[in-house]
Amino acid sequence: MSSTSSVVLNTGVSMPLVGFGTYKLCGSEEVFQAVDAALHSGYRAFDTAAVYGNEADLGRALRKLLPKHGLTREDIFITSKLGPKDQGKRAMEGALHSLSELGMDYIDLYLIHWPGTQGVAVGDPCNPGNRAESWAALEELHAQGKLWAIGVSNYTPAHMQTLLQSCKTPPALLQVEFHPRLCQTDLRRVCEEQGVCFQAYSSLGKGELVKHPVVVEVAKGCERTPAQVLLRWAVQQGVPVLPKSSHPARVQENIGLFDFSLDVAAMDRLTALDDGHKYCWDSSEVA
């Protein structure tokens, strides 16, 4: 990747604009092969979560593969996330478990994965209290140097406002679904105003959006692939992305974003696809 392919978080730390998503990668062999292909292609950031069940496999793969690629722990950026079952009282334990599964002394970025708590109804008024308790635990681990940056995922503008008004340490990043069919204008405005990095997940619409006729046409027009067009649309707006693939050729394709750009007409055509469509889950009902 080029030197312009990173963003600086409000902690002063730099994070690559393209990270490797690991959702659905499962089993030590599949994780190992994918991480090998990702490091080979130039990825230096990896996104996992307690609920993906692959933190230990990712940690093991990196310990074996970093020396092979002439890299050290300091050369890579690891994101993981607190599982909804650990929201609230168990948050400290949950985050320490992620550290131990990864086999690392620190995690570069740790997120509250979901605004709700597993087993608690979405409308239950104890959800905000649980989130606040989780955030306090993350703040403590951040102060201890175990979590270098902390943030949230799947928060709505209302969840963000509450957190921003009550926190001691402001969130460094918000990770949400983002692609031309879901432009998240309100959330992006909150993040921009508050200095919170806005990061995209499911930029390829879980593999579905690459087939959209407008995306295919824009890709033909600039002689790139539909996946590259979708990812470039985000990074050209300064939004970090996390493409996931189990296929080495696609892993490489998905990071080839910095030797072309989309013209204004192509950007506008893609942005005009916004119809609020979500390929993933919806957190708007969580109290």
Residues belonging to the active site: 52
Q: Which is nearer to ligand NAP, 130 or 153 (CB)?
A: 153
CA–CA–CA angle 119, 120, 122 (5° rounding): 125
| Residue 225 CB, nearest approach to ligand NAP (Å) | 6
Q: Which is nearer to ligand NAP, 148 or 178 (CB)?
A: 178
**Cα four-point dihedral sign 178, 202, 117, 13:** negative
| Residue 113 CB, nearest approach to ligand NAP (Å) | 6
Residues that bind ligand NAP (CB under 6 A): 21-23, 47, 113, 153-154, 175, 201-207, 210, 227, 242-247, 250, 253-254, 280
Contact assessment for residue 161 and residue 190, using Cβ atoms and an 8 Å cutoff? yes
Q: Which is nearer to ligand NAP, 22 or 41 (CB)?
A: 22
Q: Which is nearer to ligand NAP, 143 or 285 (CB)?
A: 285
| Residue 182 CB, nearest approach to ligand NAP (Å) | 11
| Residue 2 CB, nearest approach to ligand NAP (Å) | 20
Q: Which is nearer to ligand NAP, 167 or 280 (CB)?
A: 280
Ranked by CB distance to ligand NAP, the top (closest) residue is: 21
| Residue 244 CB, nearest approach to ligand NAP (Å) | 3
